[in-house]
Amino acid sequence: MSMLRGFGRSRSRAHPSWTHQTLVSLPSRSSTPARELARRGVLALSLLVFIVALVYFDRGSYTDTHDGAVSFVDAIYYATVTITTTGYGDITPVTPQARILNAVLVTPMRILFLVLLVGTTLEVLANEGRRILRDSYWRNHMRNHVVVVGYGTKGRSAVDTLQSNGANPAQIVVIDPKPSAVVDANLRGFAAIEGDATRRDVLRRAEIIKAREVIITLDRDDSAILVTLTVRQLNPSAHVVVAVREDDNASLVRQSGANAVVTSSEAVGRLLGLSAVSPNLGTVIEDLLSSKEGLEVGERQVRPDEVGRAPDDVKGEAVIAVVRNKTLRRFYDPTVAKLETGDQVVVVRHAVAEVAGSEPQPPSRRRSGRSNW
């Protein structure tokens, strides 16, 4: 086995701390419940301190039924029983000034104090309970979904292609270590998990065991191999597609369990070479890779009226390959001279016509073996 490029580089990375190890971001909260309660508790304490200062500096306007004088401790006692609406009545304001201040300042602060400590506590607990219920519901119903590991440029393009081919956004789960990527995925309607996908607990939070498709688009080939190994161990039946930077690492990724491997540097280099040989070739290839305009490549089921016809006889689309018995054959292969029921055809079509016509068919998956194309 050849040496893996870049495998010796340091992989030390600070793992983000998790407040909820079992919850998926649907979407993520801006702060944890404990931090929110602590923040509002500080506000409530500030209100209490203000009332203590107000009473103590104006202590001559109050009387204590015990000894008539109001000390600093008495001010704390009065502020506490007043702001919590206990109100024993042993310390009372006696001057008009003190009574006006109590009516104008202390009473609104008493209401605000109760809202902060009682109302917001119930709100946070209710929101957290609702979040846990949503998470539980999501886990119970999430199956046959697509997990996208890495939400950078390649990951976003992969998700866009899935959506343009009819994928349901509710069936897409994103894993990325960057909080900004998680927020972006949530804004686009995807469930997202912040974390390192090389860790089993992160993959389990994405319900990887029940996933149908896994797309791995990481910046490092060593990380992609580790994720592929872990995914294949947790879910032997998932269809795994991996992007690698170096062609030398493609064989290692296949040995790790990937069903399909795309070499990004080689693909970009080939596109650059074609564009240098002929700008028109580069334009056509780029057009095929884009979606929603111009030309696009798609895969669909053979229609009943096409059974028995040759691939060249299909109207409105150019058939470039036929998938029969999970094997991909070129359009000129004599074994697919006539289309049969159950065949899948890979076609080049007009993207605008596809959008205006019937809904696009989701691409099928080859789960075993390599194609002969």
Asked whether residue 126 falls in the same domain as residue 236, the answer is no
Asked whether residue 180 falls in the same domain as residue 213, the answer is yes
Q: What is the pLDDT of residue 229?
A: 94
CA distance 134 to 235: 24
Q: 353: helix, coil or strand?
A: helix
Q: Is 58 inside any structural domain?
A: yes
Helix (H) or strand (E) holding 110: helix 107-114
Higher per-residue pLDDT: 131 or 340: 340
Q: Is 82 inside any structural domain?
A: yes
Asked whether residue 254 falls in the same domain as residue 369, the answer is no
Range picked from 32-46, 216-230, 353-367 for highest mean pLDDT: 216-230
Residue after which a domain boundary falls, among 226, 249, 266? 266
Q: Is 19 inside any structural domain?
A: no
Residue 317: pLDDT over 70: yes
CA distance 27 to 5: 37
Asked which of 153-167, 288-302, 318-332 is least confident by mean pLDDT, the reply is 288-302
Q: Is 224 inside any structural domain?
A: yes
Asked whether residue 123 falls in the same domain as residue 167, the answer is no
Q: What is the pLDDT of residue 358?
A: 43
Asked whether residue 260 falls in the same domain as residue 167, the answer is yes
CA distance 30 to 132: 16
Q: What is the mean pLDDT of the segment spanning 224-235?
A: 93
Asked whether residue 132 falls in the same domain as residue 154, the answer is no
Greatest CA span in the chain, whole angstroms?
110
**Exposed, middle or buried by CB within 10 Å (0-12, 13-18, 19+), for 104?**
exposed
In the structure, how many helices (H) and strands (E) does the chain have?
A: 13, 12
For the chain, what percentages of helix, strand and coil (3-state, to nearest 5) are there?
50, 15, 35
Asked whether residue 113 falls in the same domain as residue 167, the answer is no
- Mention every residue, 6+ apart, whose C-beta is less than 8 A from residue 42: none
Asked whether residue 136 falls in the same domain as residue 146, the answer is no
Model confidence over 23-76: pLDDT tens digits? 566 544 456 666 766 777 788 788 888 888 888 888 888 888 777 788 888 888
Residue 365: pLDDT over 60: no
Q: Is 14 inside any structural domain?
A: no
Residue 353: pLDDT over 70: no
Q: What is the pLDDT of residue 23?
A: 56
Asked whether residue 110 falls in the same domain as residue 46, the answer is yes
CA distance 105 to 205: 49
List, as one string, the DSSP characters of 198-236.
TSHHHHHHTTGGG-SEEEE--S-HHHHHHHHHHHHHH-T
Residue 305: pLDDT over 50: yes
Domain count, the chain: 3
What are the residues facing 172 on neighbouring strands?
A: 146
Percentage, residues of the chain above pLDDT 70: 77
Is pTM beyond 0.75? Reply is no
Q: What is the pLDDT of residue 38?
A: 76
Asked whether residue 241 falls in the same domain as residue 253, the answer is yes
Residue 177: pLDDT over 70: yes
Q: Would you say how long the chain is, in residues?
A: 373
Q: Is 76 inside any structural domain?
A: yes
Question: Residue 320 belongs to what domain range?
Answer: 294-373
Residue after which a domain boundary falls, among 251, 266, 281? 266
CA distance 324 to 345: 9
CA distance 64 to 307: 99
Peptide bond into 96 cis (omega under 30): no
List, as one string, the DSSP characters of 89-155.
SSEEE-SHHHHHHIIIIIHHHHHHHHIIIIIHHHHHHHHHHHHHHHHHHHHHH--S-EEEE--SHHH
Q: Is 1 inside any structural domain?
A: no
Q: Is 25 inside any structural domain?
A: no
Written as six digits, the tokens of 295 are 């030309």
Model confidence over 114-172: pLDDT tens digits? 777 666 666 666 666 667 777 777 778 888 999 999 998 888 888 888 887 788 888 99
Asked whether residue 157 falls in the same domain as residue 133, the answer is no
